[in-house]
């Protein structure tokens, strides 16, 4: 997030939620946004194909067709420019590329956009008016924007919108992706990505590489590595021979489960570090018991870049060990056996006695974390990166006065339809995600008795019109089939989904949505298009 959650909740005059089921997936922030509407009368526009709960609080719900976000956003910007509602001063002073961009959005007149998105012209005009005339306006999104083959284009187009309206670098504005996992922000910040070292220092930059070579005492690769959505298929092709997996469950969470199973089966050697035997541990050769968040100390970084302390409450269960100790021990053993050797260098060693010590190393090598230490966090300091040095108070709002690249660049973005749309054989559209009571692959929440009691089996959301057409008279079990696989689950007959669309979650191994999903990837971000694929739905008697 460029801004902070309390700043959005307290200062935004208008809110655009697009592709985020906020009250179910970020419930506490979702409740803050409900209060912004209730108490301050903030104007809320929700753009989502589903009638998710937060739409009850919306001034306007735009129910666009899945996979038409770019057309929708371009259409709103077209109306904004047509009415002269753009922030001309911001555009002149802080951005570049406006002319090329304007040429593209000129093509997105309301009639054409209405045809692509299914949103009535009147609603497009109303939405553009609400979002332009109530300043500042904050945009929130999540996987509904990113899990498309045009995920990167969608995000860039939302940045276009906020530059057009001059909502960057101000309280109550900004571009605010809501990160799905407790520490997905931190995992990215720490270099858990194939193209960057910690702090987003590019592996292709000679300067960055030399810095880490000097710190770690080894020559480093200048080749960008594989993303998860490339790595596992590469294992299926025999290019990747071994995997070391920490606390992930690709069988449940990756697209096209049958193919993932085949790839993991093919992979020669898999080390898995986990809490529980999982769908993925079936394919592991070595299973190392790590610990839960209650059994170790360190830090997580939340969606607003806030680094927060995690404190050990209990001793590791059984012989399980904190994950950092396991990784360090593996590293020591491999380096010791050679032949790859680390030269004497300031951070070559793996002899850590605490996570506080690891954070010192992170701070020394990662400019955005330079001023972060456990001591400061323990003293109650509230730090959002970049934290430039030991006395820097952190940065609650990004892009104040200037973007990190200097001027913000408008990107001309065209609408591209999804990779697989319904046809005669697979006439319905499937979108996938999570529900309030469960978490990702469900390894934790299916083992939490209260959560399981409230939501005990997977439910497929199905519109009443479709249920009637399918003859689901009393029998509410359905079979959903795509070109890749088939699942059977209970239907939840509800107008949350429009006719022609079903929604499934991937929490339960008995009916996992990813048996159905398509591994069509965004060409840049390599994110799979979980939000759109074609299926057929039948009564399962």
Partner 1 sequence: MDVKLTINNTPITATPGQTILEVARQNGITIPTLCYHKDLSPVGSCRLCVVEVEKWRGQSAACTTPISEGMVVHTESPAIIQSRRLVLELLLQNYYDAGYAMGDRPQDNEFIHWVEHYRVTAPRQAQPRFAVNSDPNPVVWVDFNKCILCTRCVRACAEVQGRFVWGVAERGHQAQIVAGAGVPMLEARCESCGACVAYCPTGALDNRMSVGLGAADRKVLTTCTYCGVGCQLDLNVKDDVPGGRVFRVTSNPNAPVNGMHLCVKGRYGYDFIHHPDRVLRPRVRRYLLQGLPRPEHDRGEWVEVDWDTALGIAAEKLRQTREQHGPDSIGVLTSAKCLNEENYLMNKFARQVIGTNSIDHCARL
Q: List strand residue ranges (DSSP E) for 327-485, in order.
A: 383-384, 408-409, 428-433, 459-462, 477-481
37: enclosing H helix or E strand: helix 27-40
Cβ proximity of 221 and 341 under 8 Å: no
Least separation in angstroms between residue 535's CB and partner 1 is 19
CB of 121 to partner 1, least distance (A): 32
CB 147 within 8 A of CB 528: yes
Q: Are 300 and 183 in contact (CB under 8 A)?
A: yes
Give 94 or 306: the residue with its C-beta nearer to partner 1. Answer: 306
Which CB, 88 or 311, lies closer to partner 1? 311
Residues 6+ positions from 83 with CB-CB distance below 8 Å: 128, 129, 132
Minimum CB distance to partner 1, residue 172 (Å): 17
- Output the DSSP codes for 395-421: -SSSSSSSBTTBSEE---------SS-
We find the least distance from the C-beta atom of residue 357 to partner 1, in angstroms, to be 9
Q: Write the CB contacts of 109 (distance below 8 Å, at least 6 apart in sequence).
A: 75, 78
Q: How far is the CB of 208 from partner 1 (least distance, A)?
A: 11
Q: Which is nearer to partner 1, 119 or 291 (CB)?
A: 291
- Closer Cβ to partner 1, 310 or 488, answer by number: 310
Q: Which run of H or of E encompasses 112? A: helix 110-117
Between 107 and 265, name the residue whose CB sits nearer to partner 1. 265
Q: Please state the closest distance from residue 511 (CB atom) to partner 1, in A.
A: 18
> Which residue's entry shows tokens 């067709």?
65
**Cβ distance 78 to 109 under 8 Å?**
yes
* Residue placing its CB nearer to partner 1 in the complex, 331 or 400: 331
Nearer to partner 1, 128 or 358 (CB): 358
Among 535, 391, 393, 388, which residue's Cα sits nearest to residue 461? 535
How is residue 355 written in tokens? 């996570």
Nearer to partner 1, 35 or 82 (CB): 35
Q: Least separation, in Å, of the C-beta of 433 and partner 1?
A: 11
- Identify the CA nearest to 360 among candidates 346, 370, 349, 348: 370
Cβ closest to partner 1, residue 242 vs residue 400: 242
Closest CB to partner 1 among residues 96, 437: 437
Nearest approach in angstroms of CB 414 to partner 1 is 23
Q: Which of 376, 232, 259, 399 is nearest to 308 (CA)?
A: 376
- Report in angstroms how near the CB of residue 464 gets to partner 1 at its nearest: 19
DSSP secondary-structure letter at 478?
Answer: E
Q: Helix, strand, or coil here: 253?
A: helix
| Shortest separation between residue 267's beta carbon and partner 1, angstroms | 9
Least distance CB 17 / partner 1 (angstroms): 14
Nearest distance from C-beta of residue 451 to partner 1, angstroms: 5
**413, two tokens:** 């973005």
Please, which residue, 68 or 299, has the CB nearer to partner 1?
299
If one counts every other C-beta atom within 10 angstroms of the C-beta of residue 276, the result is 12
What DSSP letter does each residue of 143-189 carry, written as one string?
Answer: HHHHSSTTHHHHHHHHHHHHHHTT-SSSTT-SEEEPPSSTTHHHHHH
Residue tagged 């592996």 (tokens)? 203
Nearer Cβ to partner 1, position 93 or 364? 364
Give the relative orientation of helices 69-82 and 121-133 as an angle to the nearest 10 degrees.
70
- Order of strands, sheet of 175-177, starting from the edge strand that comes earlier in the sequence: 60-62, 43-47, 14-18, 137-141, 175-177
């Amino acid at each position: 997030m460029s801004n902070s959650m309390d700043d959005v909740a307290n200062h935004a005059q208008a809110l655009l939620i697009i592709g985020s089921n906020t009250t179910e997936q970020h419930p506490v922030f979702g409740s803050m946004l409900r209060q912004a509407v209730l108490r301050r009368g903030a104007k809320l526009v929700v753009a989502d194909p589903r009638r998710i709960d937060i739409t009850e609080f919306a001034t306007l719900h735009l129910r666009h067709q899945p996979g038409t976000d770019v057309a929708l956003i371009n259409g709103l910007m077209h109306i904004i420019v047509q009415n002269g509602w753009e922030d001309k001063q911001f555009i002149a002073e802080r951005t570049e590329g406006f002319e090329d961009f304007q040429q593209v959005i000129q093509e997105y007149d309301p009639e054409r956009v209405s045809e692509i998105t299914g949103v009535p012209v009147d609603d497009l005009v109303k939405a553009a008016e609400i979002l332009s005339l109530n300043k500042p306006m904050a945009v929130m999104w999540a996987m509904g924007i990113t899990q498309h083959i045009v995920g990167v284009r969608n995000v860039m187009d939302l940045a276009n919108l906020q530059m057009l309206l001059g909502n960057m670098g101000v309280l109550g504005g900004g571009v605010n992706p809501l990160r799905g996992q407790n520490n997905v922000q931190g995992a990215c910040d720490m270099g858990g990505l194939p193209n960057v070292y910690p702090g987003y220092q590019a592996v292709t930059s000679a300067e960055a590489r030399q810095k880490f070579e000097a710190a770690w005492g080894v020559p480093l690769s200048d080749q960008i590595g594989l993303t998860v959505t490339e790595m596992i298929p590469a294992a299926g092709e025999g290019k990747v021979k071994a995997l070391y997996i920490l606390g992930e469950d690709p069988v449940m969470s990756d697209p096209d489960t049958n193919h993932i199973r085949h790839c993991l089966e093919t992979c020669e050697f898999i080390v898995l570090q986990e809490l529980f035997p999982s769908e993925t541990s079936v394919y592991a050769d070595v299973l190392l018991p790590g610990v839960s968040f209650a059994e170790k100390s360190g830090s997580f970084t939340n969606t607003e870049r806030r680094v927060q302390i995690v404190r050990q409450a209990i001793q590791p269960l059984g012989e399980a060990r904190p994950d950092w100790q396991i990784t360090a021990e593996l590293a020591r053993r491999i380096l010791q056996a050679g032949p790859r050797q680390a030269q004497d260098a300031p951070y070559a060693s793996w002899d850590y006695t605490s996570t506080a010590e690891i954070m010192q190393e992170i701070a020394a090598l990662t400019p955005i974390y330079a001023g972060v230490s456990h001591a400061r966090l323990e003293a109650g300091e509230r730090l959002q990166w970049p934290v430039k040095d030991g006395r820097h108070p952190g940065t609650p709002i990004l892009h104040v006065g200037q973007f990190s690249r200097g001027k913000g660049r408008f990107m001309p973005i065209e609408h591209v339809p999804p990779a697989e749309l319904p046809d005669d054989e697979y006439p319905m559209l499937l979108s996938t995600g999570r529900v309030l009571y469960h978490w990702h692959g469900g390894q934790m929440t299916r083992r939490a008795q209260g959560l399981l009691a409230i939501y005990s089996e997977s439910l497929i959301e199905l519109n009443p019109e479709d249920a009637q057409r399918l003859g689901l008279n009393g029998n509410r079990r359905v079979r959903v089939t795509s070109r890749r696989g088939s699942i059977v689950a209970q239907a939840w007959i509800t107008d949350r989904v429009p006719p022609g669309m079903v929604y499934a979650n991937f929490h339960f191994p008995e009916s996992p949505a990813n048996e159905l999903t398509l591994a069509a990837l965004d060409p840049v971000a390599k994110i799979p298009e979980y939000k759109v694929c074609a299926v057929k739905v039948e009564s399962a008697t």
